């Protein structure tokens, strides 16, 4: 900041916290000189997220002590660190066989992000050259987040899910899409074995590889209702 910007900052500080106001001409001059010395490399505002007035206002709201120039500098440095932590270095366009030019371009890019001249480049930008998509749009494009080969390998470890996916793909009613009235399995959960004991209570909790027939019939009836609608 230059002297004019520092004077504007002190005027803003005095408006929010009158304790910082210096009434004497010499005191005001010394205060401006002190703040300018410490805020020399701190911008008044940037195009991407930094405004010294917001930092001052936050301090006044959070701290009972009068703000000092070092408080502003610390907030600016924390802001810079946060921007660099969110930034993903892009590959310089310079010749990689020219280490001096390569390093200079890398430093220019990093400094532009740190000082707020450009916005941080997130990981999304290095994984996709096109416009960012939301999750549903991407899933519509790729069809599934699990590659077919991996899904085939997982099928033997998830027989109930594999059977459900096969049924849905072939147009057969999805039995797991409804609640089972026999074993009371919830929607999406496989059916379980139930054996009645002599006293009438149910025993057994083993997972069935196939749903109960009554559940299949209920899913088919539901599909027929949807088709008719």
| Exposure b/e, 203-227, CB count within 10 A at least 16 = b | eeeeebeebbeebbebbeeebeeee
Asked if 28 and 22 touch (Cβ cutoff 8 Å), the reply is: yes
Question: Which among 21, 25, 2, 3 is positioned nearest to 11, based on CA atoms?
Answer: 21
Q: pTM to 2 decimals?
A: 0.47
- pLDDT string in tens for the chain (229-residue length): 899 999 999 999 999 999 989 888 899 999 999 999 999 989 999 887 889 999 999 999 999 999 999 999 999 999 888 888 877 777 778 888 888 888 888 888 888 888 777 877 766 444 445 555 566 676 666 666 677 777 778 877 777 777 777 777 777 788 888 899 888 888 888 888 877 666 766 666 788 878 888 988 998 898 888 777 6
The pair of three-digit structure tokens given for residue 167, joined into one six-digit string:
């049924």
- Give the pLDDT of residue 166: 75
- Give the pLDDT of residue 201: 64
d(CA 4, CA 32): 9
d(CA 106, CA 123): 17
Question: Which among 111, 17, 127 is positioned nearest to 68, based on CA atoms?
Answer: 17
Q: Cβ contacts of residue 124 below 8 Å, gap of 6+?
A: 132
Asked if 34 and 69 touch (Cβ cutoff 8 Å), the reply is: yes
Q: What single string gives the DSSP state of each residue in 195-229?
A: EE-TTS-EE--PBPSS--HHHHHHHHHHHHHHHH-
Compute CA 88 distance to the chain's CA centroid, rounded to the nearest angstrom: 15
Asked if 32 and 10 touch (Cβ cutoff 8 Å), the reply is: yes
Beta bridge partners of 203: 195
The pair of three-digit structure tokens given for residue 195, joined into one six-digit string:
């054996």
The pair of three-digit structure tokens given for residue 228, joined into one six-digit string:
């008719």
Question: Which among 182, 169, 193 is positioned nearest to 218, based on CA atoms?
Answer: 182
Three-state SS for 192? strand
């Amino acid at each position: 900041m230059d002297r004019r910007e520092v004077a504007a900052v002190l005027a803003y500080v005095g408006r929010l916290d009158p304790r910082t106001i210096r009434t004497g001409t010499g005191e005001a001059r010394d205060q401006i000189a002190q703040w300018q010395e410490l805020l020399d490399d701190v911008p008044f505002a940037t195009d991407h997220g930094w405004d010294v007035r917001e930092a001052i206002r936050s301090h006044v709201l959070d701290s009972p002590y009068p703000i000092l120039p070092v408080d502003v500098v610390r907030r600016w440095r924390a802001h810079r660190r946060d921007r660099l932590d969110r930034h993903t270095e892009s590959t310089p366009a310079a010749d990689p066989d020219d280490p001096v030019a390569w390093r200079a371009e890398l430093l220019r890019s990093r400094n532009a992000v740190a000082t707020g001249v450009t916005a941080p480049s997130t990981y999304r930008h290095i994984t996709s050259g096109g416009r960012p998509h939301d999750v549903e749009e991407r899933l519509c494009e790729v069809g599934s987040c699990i590659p077919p080969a991996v899904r085939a390998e997982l099928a033997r470890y998830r027989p109930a899910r594999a059977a459900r996916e096969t049924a849905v793909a072939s147009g057969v009613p999805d039995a797991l899409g409804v609640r089972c009235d026999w074993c009371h399995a919830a929607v999406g959960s496989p059916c379980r074995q139930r054996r009645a004991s002599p006293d009438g209570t149910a025993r057994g909790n083993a997972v069935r590889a196939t749903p109960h027939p009554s559940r299949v019939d209920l899913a088919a009836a539901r599909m027929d209702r949807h088709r008719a609608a």
